[in-house]
Structures are given as C-alpha cells and as structure tokens.
Copies of this chain bind each other. A is one copy, B any other.
Amino acid sequence: MSFRTIEWRDNKVIMIDQTRLPAEEVYNEYTDFQGVAQAIRGMVVRGAPAIGIAAAMGVALGAREIIADSFDTFYRQLENVCDVIGRTRPTAVNLFWGLERMKRVALQHKELDLNSIRELLKAEAISIEAEDLAICKEIGRHGAALVKEGASILTHCNAGGLATAGYGTALGVIRGAHEAGKGIRVFADETRPWLQGARLTAWELMKDSIPVTLISDNMAGWLMRTGQIDFCVVGADRIAANGDTANKIGTYSVAVLAKENRIPFYVAAPISTLDLKLANGDLIPIEERASEEVTKIKGIQIAPEGVKVRNPAFDVTPARYITGIITEKGVVRGDYERELKALVGL
C-alpha cells in the first residue's frame, strides 16, 4: 500500500483526510478524542473496519486526557469518552465493537495503576489496527479463490485500504485476485452522494495499478445485463444473524440486479462486522445524513435551492441475494443463521 489510512504515532492519531481525496493527499493529526469523534462524524475516516480502529484509537487518546485518582472515576470518564465516540455514526457495528473491546481491556486490568491501563489501551488500539490488516489479507485470500481468470469485478462504495487498516475487504478480494495474477479488471460505482467510488476506490486502485473503470451507479445494471460484469463484491457495515447485510446505500440494488442477471454477489467483511444479537436486517439502524450531501457537490449547488431530499447512508440487502459472505475464517453460504453462529463458535 502506498498510503496509510490511520496510524498511532507519538501519542497522536494520524489519518489520511478522505474528504480531500483524490485532489489532495493530506494527513490530519489528532491529539484528543473529541477530534477523533469529529473526524468519524465528518468522514475524514470512514468504512466500517477503519471506523472501529479510529474509535479504539480515540478511546486510547481519551484515556490519556482523563484526570482521575481511582479506577472508578477513570472508568466513568472512559465510558463518557466511549459515549461521545459512539454517537458519531449509528450503522457500522465495528464502531461499537471497537469501543466494547477497549472498555473490556480497562475492566480486565482495573487492579493496575492508571498509567499502565492507559498504556494497555494504547497497545490494544494498535493491535486492533494490526489485526485488521492481517484479517483483510485473509479475506483477500479466501475471496480470490472465488474469482475466475480475467473476471470483470463490480464493486460499490469503498471497502478498500481506505476503509480498513489497509488492503481492504471487498478490495482485499480484488487485491488478492490481482496478486494471484488472475488478470482481473474492476468497475467502480461512483457511489453517490459521497462519491466514495469515484474519489477513493478509483484512487487507491490506480495507485496499485489495478485496472479500474469508473461508472455512475445507475450504469451497473446495464453493464450486468450486457454481460460486462462477472462478479460483484462489496463490504459491510453490519451483518445480522440471518445474513442480512447493511452496507452503503445502493448495495441492495446491486444485489438485486446481480441476482436478476445470475452474477455472483459476495459480501466481504471481518467477523467484527457480525451483529448476531440482531435477528435480521430490519433491526439495523440506518443513518440518515444531511441533505447537502445530495444537493451540493464540493460546495456547489446542483439542485434547486430548498428542494426536499432523502439521504439514507445505508441500505440492507436481504441474505437471499447474497451468494456468500467472505470472512477471515472462510466463506459462509447457504444457511447463514447456522453458519454465521458456527463461524464465531456459538
């Protein structure tokens, strides 16, 4: 990878500013948890696994800011830090998974002095990042095995290096297939309104010299119908117990169109994206974002002033449209209810 999505360095959190790509490659530094929360809300960092990492690093920063003379006082303030970070974006479960993991580390070491706990929290955040990179490579390895020689692969949004510690989930599968010499090429949906595909996926694939063609979202169906797409792979923000998958708005449409045209449609995601407490996708909260994301592009008004807008940031793809879910532990298909439980050892 020729860029770094998020990194802990010298007690600061460094993130590539994804709001400014591809025009500018700028790295922002954060020294407090409020800054990290703002960065998540404002999508300086985005993508479910990357949000999980950012949340954990935000907690580690917050732990350094807390002034306390007992574990209980420390932990109450740590919970406040987690609440602030938890309120930034509701859909990606990795955010809450990251926060829970950090709280658990603190609780498990309550007998230690606070500075040791602060160091353990920092180490945990850094391991979450390192694990994520390893997980993405495993996802890539499992996924690449499903891709045929010379395949044209459609992806939606950015489930890439920029959405993870690096390598990516859906783009991990693509990188895996590319590295295996399969001679694949990629169609990237531009992914309105935030243009993650045009701005981020196209950028990172070009950086890695993986052949990519940009299309607007509404072209994907027609390319499928005319035999130009062989394989679809997307990421996930939350996967319910029955396999229903929340991901970037438009994913549901890609899945329906893939099924209609008998094209395999895969979800690639780490196990931290599973939310087996939720029976099905209807229970996943869907974030609705500001109307300006639709009416303005780079600050320029493209629609009539005052027009009413809907802007759900995610949708839910029912499990029946999903050919398989590619995780670091292998590919799950068929009876998702049973298979997902088995995957996590329940």
Contact = CB atoms under 8 A, between A and B. Distances in A.
Interface in A155-203: 156, 187, 189-193, 195, 198-199, 202-203
Given A252-B222, A302-B298, A308 B213 contact: yes
Contacts of A252: 221-222, 225
Contacts of A307: 198, 202, 206, 212-214
A212 B307 CA distance: 8
Interface residues of A, number: 55
Given A300-B297, A302-B195, A218 B253 contact: yes
Nearest to A217: B218
Q: Which of A187, A193, A213, A308 neighbours the largest number of chain B CB atoms within 10 Å of its CB? A: A308
Nearest to A225: B252
Given A216-B294, A260-B260, A312-B219, A206 B304 contact: yes
Contact of A250 (B198, B218, B260, B315): B218
Given A192-B218, A219-B250, 4 more contacts: A199-B303, A203-B304, A219-B249, A219-B312
Contacts of A214: 294-295, 303, 307-310
22 contacts: A22-B303, A190-B294, A190-B302, A192-B192, A192-B216, A193-B216, A198-B294, A198-B302, A202-B307, A206-B306, A212-B307, A212-B308, A214-B295, A214-B303, A214-B308, A215-B309, A215-B311, A216-B217, A217-B217, A217-B250, A219-B249, A222-B316
Interface string A200-240: 00110010000111111111111101000000000000000
A1 interface: no
A213 B198 CA distance: 25
A256 interface: yes
Contacts of A278: none
A297 B297 contact: yes
A41 B204 CA distance: 34
Interface in A250-277: 250, 252-253, 256-257, 260
Contacts of A308: 211-214
Interface string A91-106: 0000000000000000
